Structure 1
Amino acid sequence: MNRVARRIMAVALGAGAVLSAALGPAAVAQAAPARADGQISSLSFVTAAASPSAYTLSVTGHRQETTYYCVPASSQLMLNSFGITVSQRTLATKMGTTASGGTSGANANKVLNAYVNRKGYKVTTYSAKDPAKLMSMVRYDVGTLHRAAYIGVWMEDLPWNKGKVKGNNIGHGIAVYGYNASKGTITVYDPWKATGGKHTLTAKQLAAVSQSNGGLHYVTRL
């Protein structure tokens, strides 16, 4: 799938600066079997039963180094949970990230899999629109596998951006690295410099702001 070649300008009202955010994972068709090529797959399995009721990974988040490095920055944290250290610039180069088109989900997964396959894992994109399924996937990745994931969201709809970012369908990638199933909450790291950092929101809130054509870049064993 070709990269989304659309750039959207957002205005950070608090700072009074014009910000640019490229669309995140590219639009892809639904596929029945699980895929590792960046395409959306139907969720055929989730194993959360063995996971604790709450868990947060010990990882270091990094703010994105450019206005369009959200996916490389989130992938950097994701790979850190595998003990892999790689720069945002290296990831952006390998993923074909550009200022005009951002990063496609297919390219991101291809690069992520090049790193994690050798450790016995794979990354596949699943829809995150169902809160219960989203929580189950996060519990499996974070609580069972002890790995972070990243999710494609609409930047302007994130709770911490309300009234601070203007625009419609501003694609963005954030990392997922913690949860509390009893409270129904998920902990994320938003790499955007102005409003990002560690945030906690409900699974329902995260599902609502997730991209229909992006979803959760979900880790499973090979």
Structure 2
Amino acid sequence: MRSAATTGSGRARLTVRGEEFVADASGALYWPREKLLAVADLHFEKGSSFAARGVFLPPYDTRATLAALARLVAAYRPRRVVALGDSFHDPHGAARLAADDRASLAALQRGRDWLWIAGNHDPAPPAGLGGDAAQELLIGAVTFRHEPRPGAGEGEIAGHLHPAARVVGRGGSVRGRSFLSDGGRCVLPAFGAFAGGLNVRDAAFCALFGAAPAIAHVIGRAGVYAVPRLLCAPD
């Protein structure tokens, strides 16, 4: 297994099934050979979904997530963007998008392929928002899907679990979103502004990685840092 290179530049390198990827401190994964940018768990309109149930959150999550995505698209200029499911917090989220947010999304899609992967929060394609939709995407030995599958074999890139790592040092502990990979598969952190995180020591990750020497590529203030999963602390 090849681990990520620690960097203070806001990016790190990692491999999945022998393919080179860039783990960006935003939480996105870029595949240079394919000029493909993957983001997981955008959870657009989570704020409005909670508001409909009487739980009021600041109504700016979609706008903040789109702005972060726009910065990535400007930096990498991908040929294809793949949203790895749970792009909307509920099946009706797309219908609640504000007009200016729709326009921002359309601008990001212009001139490139855009694929919505089905998630458990949004199993049906978003209506009227452009792009294509699929259950998963296979490119060579790499499979993009929403939910990682135990025993799925190598080459899987997924989201769904929102990995986060807690690292303890002499000065205390920090907790950050994390890519989690053993060189065979990679689980991406949630990209959405209001999305939470599940500790990489949770049983859900044990079912995927077992005792394999998986690396948590932890997003910190100054870069992305490689820490063995088993050296990360529980919450």
Give 1 or 2: higher helix fraction.
1
Same fold (TM over 0.5): no
Instruction: Name the structure, 1 or 2, with higher relative contact order (CA <8 Å, separation 6+).
Output: 1
Scaled by the length of structure 1, the TM-score of the pair is 0.34
TM-score calculated relative to the size of structure 2: 0.32
